[in-house]
Structure 1
Amino acid sequence: MTGLERQHQFLSFFDRQIKLDRVSHAYMLIGKNDTYEVALAMAKRIFCPQGGEDNCVICQRIDHNEYADLHIISGKETSIKKDEILDLKEVMAQTAFESNSKKIYIIHDVDQASPSALNSLLKFLEEPESDITAILTTQNVNKVLETVQSRCLLVHLKPLLRRSLVSAIQDAGFPKRESIYLSYIAENKDEALKIGESTQFIQLLDLMEQLSLHYEKREMEVAGILLQVACKEKKMDLKSINWLCLMHIAYYNEFKHKDVKFLPVLKASLAIQDRIQPGVISSMLMDQFAYELIREDNL
């Protein structure tokens, strides 16, 4: 099943909105998977005379990010800055270039926008224009300002069954343990395979194996020191720390079968994941991780 097939219910609803000329000025796609595919499918349905069903020239241009009135910003690799939102507002204020006369902007991982960028976006959303549609995506809606959420039609996408993703990754040649970790990090098979081959993931996998030995012995202080040293030696960024938190959650859920003895590991990782946001210092987060492991173990 493809991502678009999985999200058929929402896309059918969106098609009806287009037919009735009731397209909302802003949507927020919430979910770990399919957000990129669905956002592009929505853009195609608005811009394409055939409703995005055919692989026409317009759809091909959208796929290659060559459609003049479609603007995409992503917070996947780096945080979204205020200047990016201000530049976007300036571009969207211009007359449409294409014959359709509609304009769309997509902001992926909007939760990775800086506070000033989110405030700037909020002002933009508060003054909607009939010819502009905003499509925001996020995996962590709780990290998006409620005032931003309130200006959007919130769409909770249907999740991908994790066991299906694990099987797909295994079929591509990855061992089961690695496949399980990747299923918690990646949105889909293609992303999982890319991440699985990265030096970043391989280093984290090695670190996780070392940490698990100390977790088994309840050596939380030693594990904390190992985390701090790894952060300094491997120069871990916020993305790496987020992946590590997700791997800890997988460790607790899948390998320890939610054994309460390892609950401190889960609680510590969730506490750190909740603090990951643009501008936070990586080394401070890892110091906090080390502290949370000890604190939770002694409660």
Structure 2
Amino acid sequence: MKKQNLEYIIQHSLEQNKINHCYLLKSYEKVNFDKSILFIINALNKSNLKNLNQENLPANIVVFNKSDNGNLALEKEEIVKQFELTSLSTFQENQYKFLVFENIDQASNAALNSLLKTIENPSKNVIFILTTNKFNKVLSTIKSRSMIINIPSTNKKEIEKELLNNNLSPRESYLFAQIFTDTKQILSTIKPYTLDTFLELKNVVENSFKNPYFLYAYLIQYLKKDTKQDFLNLIYALKYFYSLSWNVEKNEDEELKNLAKKMKNANFDLYDCFIVLSDFLNNQDSNLNFFLQAEKMLIKLMEIYV
């Protein structure tokens, strides 16, 4: 079957004059969907929007998510309000109204019920764009009413280039591009000291081959409310370090190449460690107590070591 990417699907829809009223963009990693969302909006409305900050958007583009960047919350009341405004408002001729729901898997049941009713009977010229990094948690009724498009993770070289353009050092740009999958995530979470902590962690990992509790002691000091993001960043870095054991030749950093060679001689299963960290990161947005889950994750890690 021919691989159909986002650009092909949208361009083909325009050529055939068959625009879908609901697009579900999915990825299994922490991919930033902004470029894909902007591509759909700009292609269908023949516009040239540069970002999705609500204060900069025209009235016919509304973004719902759970962040604090000025966009609207994924709650029933706000969704119903916008639906009502959509049915009452008139916009520029040949312009679509876009309702963007980021992280649709995190919406409340009440919000999803309101959304489903509207998707089933959409207003004229209204297009829904939904995104998710957890496709398995999206309701089947949402999936069945949507054009589902897979969005691949950004090329690491592209991320590195973007970071360099944002004035990060060459080493920061290279290492962060290996560890994370999303430029937006990197720029919003890293601190001036992040690179130093990652390099400290590298040394701790090397020492943990002799005594695993060096690693536990290092990580646990960051498991506090005011350093929660630092802890998460370290877990992403640690996950990457474990993966070096099966990606030795792909690394351009000599220090990391040396770490990878040492890891290949480890007397415990590095892949099991990788899976434990992946499971924790994939479930960090659940309703479970974050700090309790993090402590359990660290204990599992120590059990693999010993």
| TM over 0.5, shorter chain | yes
**Matched residues in 1 for 2:109 and 2:193: separation?**
27
**Matched residues in 1 for 2:224 and 2:128: separation?**
39
Aligned to 1:45: 43
The structure having more radius of gyration, on CA atoms, is 2
Give ranges in structure 2 of 5+ residues lacking alignment: 245-255
Which stretch shifts more, 24-33 or 115-124?
115-124
Note if 1:227 corresponds to 2:219.
yes
Note if 1:216 corresponds to 2:178.
no
Aligned to 2:292: 284
Aligned to 1:67: 58
The two structures have a TM-score, normalised by structure 2, of: 0.71
The two structures have a TM-score, normalised by structure 1, of: 0.72
Q: 1:275 aligns with which of 280, 283, 302?
A: 283
**Matched residues in 2 for 1:62 and 1:285: separation?**
33
Aligned to 1:253: 243
Which stretch shifts more, 253-262 or 27-36?
253-262
Deviation by residue 1:170-219 (Cα, 9 ceiling, x = unmatched)? 6855354763234432524xx47735752584586366346424533350
Percent of aligned pairs with the same residue? Answer: 14
Amino acid aligned to 1:223: L
Q: 1:61 to 1:177 in 2, by over 3 A?
A: closer
What is the deviation of 1:156? Answer: 1.3
The answer to whether the Cα contact below 8 Å between 2:208 and 2:214 also exists between their aligned partners in 1 is no
**Matched residues in 1 for 2:170 and 2:52: separation?**
36
Q: 1:187 aligns with which of 165, 182, 190?
A: 182
Q: 1:126 to 1:211 in 2, by over 3 A?
A: farther
Aligned to 2:130: 136
Aligned to 2:13: 17
**Matched residues in 1 for 2:175 and 2:156: separation?**
8
Give ranges in structure 1 of 5+ residues lacking alignment: 1-7
Aligned to 2:252: none
Deviation by residue 1:241-266 (Cα, 9 ceiling, x = unmatched)? 55444322211223437847423431
For 1:148-163, list aligned pairs within 5 A: 148-163=142-157
The answer to whether the Cα contact below 8 Å between 1:113 and 1:278 also exists between their aligned partners in 2 is no
Q: 1:174 aligns with which of 150, 169, 176?
A: 169
